[in-house]
Amino acid sequence: MPVEQRVVSRQKIGARAATAPPPPAPTEPEPARPRRRRRAALLVAVAVVLLAAAVAAGWFLYGRGAGASVPEPTAEPGEVAHVEAISVNLADGHYLRLGLGLQLTADAHGAPDPAPALDAAIALFSGRTIAEVQDPVARDALTAELVTVLQETYDGEVMDVYLTNYVTQ
């Protein structure tokens, strides 16, 4: 007895063998943006944020926002207490004749004792060179330092110092 063989496949019997469709061409991935561009964009974004923060801080501190803060009350000036001139020894055998006027606040209680002011002035000016005490910038710095010391010494009753006698030799 003859045996029949059948081949089962997806193709129809007697049909021509179809060729498989070609595999799709590999698509080229989009060229990735270089890392440099991403880093540059990130740096630009950070710089913009920092600049915006600086502008906002400046606006609040120095611009319109500064008016919202409560201003510190300033002391009212009162009388000026005059302190007699003294001679202070400078370096190299020179001396400074120094007289002071202490600008008191309005709420100061009477004329202060001048001894602490003279002591602070002697401590600050003595031993300096004549070039230091004659230079206007250095003199202003020394006077500002004297004001700070006297404000602490007199518990805020002295608000400024005037040099009423200032002679070097």
Query: How far is it, in rounded angstroms, from Cα 9 to Cα 97?
Result: 123
The pLDDT value recorded for residue 59 is: 75
Q: What CATH fold (topology level) applies to the domain 77-168?
A: Tetrahydropterin Synthase; Chain A (3.30.479)
The pLDDT value recorded for residue 147 is: 92
- For residue 115, what are its two tokens? 């001894």
Q: Enumerate the domain spans of the chain.
A: 77-168
The pLDDT value recorded for residue 97 is: 94
The pLDDT value recorded for residue 155 is: 87
Q: Each residue of 7-27: pLDDT tens digit? A: 555 655 555 655 666 666 666
Could you count the other beta carbons within 10 Å of the beta carbon of residue 58? 12
Q: Is the pTM of this model over 0.85?
A: no
Amino acid identity at 121: A
The pLDDT value recorded for residue 154 is: 87
The pLDDT value recorded for residue 26 is: 66
Helix (H, G, I), strand (E, B) or coil at 167: strand
Query: How far is it, in rounded angstroms, from Cα 139 to Cα 162?
Result: 12
The pLDDT value recorded for residue 148 is: 92
Q: For residues 152, 158, 159 and 164, what is the CA-based torsion angle, rounded to 10 degrees?
A: -120
Q: Each residue of 52-75: pLDDT tens digit? A: 888 888 877 776 655 555 555 577
Q: Which residues of the chain have pLDDT under 70?
A: 1-34, 63-73
